[in-house]
Amino acid sequence: MKPNIRLTLLSLAVMLFSGTVLAADPAKPIKHSFLAAGGHTRIVAEDGSATWNYPASTRDGWILRNGNRLLALSKSKDFPGGGFVELNPKGDVLAKWSGTQDEVNTVQKLPGGGYMVTEAGRNPRILELDRTLKIVAEIPMLCQVTNFHMQSRMARKLDNGNYLVPQLLDKVVREYDKKGHVVWEAKTPNWAFTAIRLPNGNTLVGCTYGNVVVEFNPKGEIIWQVSNDDLPGKPIKDACGVQRLPNGNTVITSYGSKPGEIRLTEVNRDRQIVWTHTDQQPNGIHHFQILTTNGRKVRQVLK
């Protein structure tokens, strides 16, 4: 092996081992497809066209591994307390559940075919439903009850069996165990909307009107953040949905953006913008799921 080739391979190995993200090929621009939840629920292809639409407003959503669509539904005439629906790619309804309080703000598919949801209202709680939609677990949430809408958002059940819950008006992210005990929490600089437990044990949080995304270590210390102060043009407008990609980049939605403004912004670890999405839709993107990058499926880092 020639010395310069050996050096190149060694350098590459060191960069990968240290977690350094290699820069994208400038000759091949990044293109993503994604699911957008919000006033206009849709799947957007890498060319920006909508390949699938759902005729209702949503709070949270997933494209599952089998291609099914799992959507947390906003309050409506048909779902006065919110709810969720699971559809197959043909649009057939496989499961449907209506909330019993004020709002259902999140839904997550669980191993075994069940679901986790959160209910906002006088009795804020996390619920687990089995595949028949029977409630099999109820975990109370410790949060204010004067503003139901501002109680919680994108909660997730973790691999350890606990629940990670962003609590907006309380400006905190809490991890609850199965009995409802708080086993970890971190105060946030603004309303906490999305909380993601990363594989390294850190927690990534989108902080809405603070226009900032922060990353906490297990001690609750902020060890990385990105805000409009770091980005040209100040593209973040209400940092609601957030996703950490396998390459270490972070995608942020601007829920408060207007038609023709940036809806999604992807930044690398050095806080450089590497991709944006703009559209003319009247509604911003509440939450999202990046599905592919340049034709390849994205392995999910978020739970």
Record the tokens describing residue 68, joined without a space: 């099914």
pLDDT of residue 26: 56
Q: What is the mean pLDDT of residues 132-146?
A: 97
Looking at the predicted structure, is the pLDDT value of residue 285 above 50?
yes
Q: What is the mean pLDDT of residues 55-59?
A: 97
pLDDT of residue 299: 82
Q: What is the mean pLDDT of residues 112-140?
A: 97
What does DSSP assign to residue 302? -
Question: Under a CB-based contact definition with an 8 Å cutoff, are residues 187 and 194 in contact?
Answer: no
pLDDT of residue 278: 97
Burial zone of 52 (CB within 10 Å; 0-12 exposed, 13-18 middle, 19+ buried): middle
170 versus 4: the higher-pLDDT residue is 170
Looking at the predicted structure, is the pLDDT value of residue 59 above 80?
yes
* pTM greater than 0.85: yes
Element of type H or E holding 6: helix 3-18
Q: What is the mean pLDDT of residues 77-105?
A: 97
Record the tokens describing residue 232, joined without a space: 């040209």
Q: What is the mean pLDDT of residues 258-267?
A: 98
pLDDT of residue 301: 61
Whole-Å CA distances, 226 to 32, 37, 181, 252 = 21, 23, 31, 10
Q: Which residues contact 23 (CB under 8 A, 6 or more apart)?
A: 268
Record the tokens describing residue 187, joined without a space: 């105060």
Cα–Cα distance, 229 to 300 (Å, whole number) = 28
pLDDT of residue 6: 39
Q: What is the mean pLDDT of residues 132-142?
A: 98
Burial zone of 212 (CB within 10 Å; 0-12 exposed, 13-18 middle, 19+ buried): buried
Q: What is the pLDDT of residues 180-189, one digit of tens each?
A: 999 999 999 9
Record the tokens describing residue 110, joined without a space: 């669980």
Lowest mean pLDDT among 9-18, 40-49, 231-240: 9-18
- Domain positions in the chain are 25-297
Cα–Cα distance, 266 to 242 (Å, whole number) = 10
pLDDT of residue 16: 31
Quote the strand ranges of 99-238, DSSP E. Answer: 103-109, 115-120, 125-129, 135-140, 156-157, 163-167, 172-176, 182-187, 194-197, 203-206, 212-216, 222-227
Q: What is the pLDDT of residues 286-301, one digit of tens each?
A: 999 999 999 999 987 6
Record the tokens describing residue 239, joined without a space: 């940092």
Cβ-based neighbour number of residue 254 at 10 Å = 25
pLDDT of residue 27: 57
Cα–Cα distance, 206 to 239 (Å, whole number) = 6
Cα–Cα distance, 169 to 62 (Å, whole number) = 25
Q: What is the pLDDT of residues 191-246, one digit of tens each?
A: 999 999 999 999 999 999 999 999 999 999 999 999 999 999 999 999 999 999 99
Instruction: Provide the percentage of residues in the chain whose pLDDT is more than 90.
Output: 89
Q: What is the mean pLDDT of residues 251-273?
A: 98
Looking at the predicted structure, is the pLDDT value of residue 72 above 60?
yes
Cα–Cα distance, 211 to 152 (Å, whole number) = 18
pLDDT tier for residue 64 given thresholds of 50, 70 and 90: very high
In the chain, the amino acid numbered 114 is G
Looking at the predicted structure, is the pLDDT value of residue 146 above 90?
yes
Looking at the predicted structure, is the pLDDT value of residue 4 above 80?
no
Domain 25-297 homologous superfamily, CATH: TolB, C-terminal domain (2.120.10.30)
pLDDT tier for residue 15 given thresholds of 50, 70 and 90: very low
Average confidence score pLDDT of the chain: 91
Record the tokens describing residue 22, joined without a space: 């290699």
Cα–Cα distance, 268 to 59 (Å, whole number) = 26
3-state secondary structure of 56: coil
pLDDT of residue 25: 55
Report helix, strand and coil shares of the chain as percent, to nearest 5.
5, 45, 50
